[in-house]
Amino acid sequence: GAVVSQHPSWVICKSGTSVKIECRSLDFQATTMFWYRQFPKQSLMLMATSNEGSKATYEQGVEKDKFLINHASLTLSTLTVTSAHPEDSSFYICSASPEVGSNHGYTFGSGTRLTVV
């Protein structure tokens, strides 16, 4: 079945530094991947839609200069949290579908727990 790998699973960084999170589709090509953010005891909030070969589409209120998304290939999307601050600490999850626009379900990565100290 469709597998999405997300790395790292957790990261601790100092305030002001940047952190890169990778999302890979292991056994299928994904022209579109989705990045979500989840605060403790809350639902997943869509941050942005990552499009292979073009600019990402950001949801309202998400700073595109802070959360840089690169989708350089059909199997890899990266989210870089730039100049991280403690309020960026959260659980970040990516997802992809083998065929966007079809009735396939979405496969989620295992998530990345970011802690900014």
Among 13, 20, 28, 44, binds other proteins (CB under 8 A): 44
Q: How far is the CB of 10 from other proteins (least distance, A)?
A: 8
The span of 11-19, 66-74, 77-85, 109-117 binding other proteins (CB under 8 A) equals 109-117
Among 19, 30, 34, 67, binds other proteins (CB under 8 A): 34
Please, are residues 8 and 111 in contact by the beta-carbon 8 Å criterion? no
Closest CA to 1 of 104, 84, 79: 104
What is the C-alpha separation between 72 and 24, in angstroms, rounded? 11
Strands (E), 1-117: 4-7, 10-13, 19-25, 32-38, 44-51, 57-58, 67-73, 76-81, 90-96, 107-108, 112-116
Query: Binding marks (x or -) toward other proteins, 54..93, rule CB under 8 A?
Result: -------------------------------------x-x
**Residue 36: strand pairing partners:** 46, 93
Q: Which residues bind other proteins (CB under 8 A)?
A: 4, 6, 9-10, 32, 34, 41-44, 46, 49, 91, 93, 95, 97, 100-101, 103, 105-111, 113
